[in-house]
Structure 1
Amino acid sequence: MTPPTGPRRHLASSPFKPDPEPTIEIYEIDDMVSHDSYGMGRVIQVEAAAVTVDFRSQTVRIPSPFYKMSKL
């Protein structure tokens, strides 16, 4: 049996609250960020569904939602 993909469906008769919608951080050019895998970096490009971050050793395009990244 394969695990289900996507968000779980909430039944109206369930006594449990539905999972909250994740809030997606909004980044701007020159924002300093911290990434769990790459370390500290600076946002150099912002797109609708991704940001490009310069981590000095490499430049990485990170798609939304930004689970492993936070603004400093």
Structure 2
Amino acid sequence: MEKIKLTEKEVEYLNDFVKMGRAAEALISAYSRSFGMQAWIFRFTKRIIGEKEYTRHHLRFHTKLKERTGMNLKY
């Protein structure tokens, strides 16, 4: 699988999310952007599928994001 290179602006955008204590949203947003999906829709994931399921998906998103971009957000 070919890795996707995030721009400096995208990395800055994601790190701003992390600084605001919204690391999960940052990861999901980055995942969405790297796969060409609308990132904003994932902000409602937690409310839609519930906390436990959201946490499980968050971990999957993080794994896929690392595979796809080589990026590892620290939070």
Q: Say whether the fold is shared (TM-score over 0.5).
A: no
Normalized per residue, which structure has more helix? 2
Normalized per residue, which structure has more strand? 1
Q: Which has the higher contact order (CA 8 A, sep 6+)?
A: 2
TM (normalized to structure 2)? 0.25
